Amino acid sequence: MPRIFATVRELIYWEYAKIISEKAVGDRLNYKFTTFTYQKLIHGKSTPSSILSENQQLFLMGDICAYCGATGALHWEHIVPLSAGGPDNIDNMVRACAHCNLTKGARDPYQWYLGNKIEQIPRVVLGKFLKVVFDKYASQYLLDSTDYMQIHAVERITLSYIFHNQAASDVGQKNHLIQRTTGSAQ
């Protein structure tokens, strides 16, 4: 995917647009619909949270593994692993079978489904992952930082590094304070 993003917000919105496209027209790789949805998100005409309600969907699905659909003895699985700094709350958790849970290990979904399988991450899991990551960048004021994007060359498989990157959050906090004091924040 040669698409270039200037900020983390753009990257996350593009990924969101793909899963919204899957929900709407049954195809995550429908470029036309994805582009249309992406523009709506970027221009603030819709927000990820108003469109997606993964936690609700999760309950509607019943007690099955969010990754492979298996039933039986299920675990609570942290989408961004605790060891990678992921939060210990329901937004970051899905039900998973022992096999998926153990195989995934200390990786986030993009890291686990690496390569050409990456578009096969279940929509519910991906939606939750993107929301957790989005909220984290938002809390550090880094969603719209072109500097941060340039320095870290953030891509899908490195999105969750933010949970470990204390230096980055310091930069974000500092920028935020400067913007507030100079009144340049929008």
118 residue type, one letter: I
Q: Which is nearer to Zn ion, 74 or 130 (CB)?
A: 74
Which range, of 4-12, 32-40, 68-76, 80-88, touches Zn ion by CB under 5 A? 68-76
CB of 122 to Zn ion, least distance (A): 10
Please name the residues in contact with 13: beta carbons below 8 A apart, sequence gap of 6 or more: 38, 41, 42, 48
Of the candidate residues 100, 125, 159, 162, the single one contacting Zn ion (CB under 5 A): 100
Instruction: Report the residue number, 17 or 58, with the smaller CB distance to Zn ion.
Output: 58
The whole-angstrom separation of Cα 57 and Cα 44 is 24
With respect to Zn ion, which residue has the nearer C-beta, 101 or 175? 101
99 to 69, 74, 86: CA distances (angstroms): 12, 10, 21
Instruction: Rule CB under 5 A: say whether 70 interacts with Zn ion.
Output: yes
Q: Which two tokens stand for residue 125?
A: 């899991």
At closest approach, how far in Å is the CB of 66 from Zn ion?
Answer: 8
Does residue 67 interact with Zn ion by CB under 5 A?
Answer: yes
Report the residue number, 104 or 136, with the smaller CB distance to Zn ion: 104
- Is residue 65 part of the contact set for Zn ion (CB under 5 A)? yes
Residue 102 makes contact with Zn ion by CB under 5 A: no
Does 68 participate in binding Zn ion (rule CB under 5 A)?
A: yes
Near Zn ion by CB under 5 A, which window of 51-59, 63-71, 105-113, 142-150? 63-71
- By beta-carbon proximity to Zn ion, the closer residue of 65 and 142 is 65
Both tokens of residue 127?
């939606």
Residues 165-184 contacting Zn ion, CB under 5 A: none
Positions touching Zn ion (CB under 5 A) are: 65, 67-68, 70, 97, 100
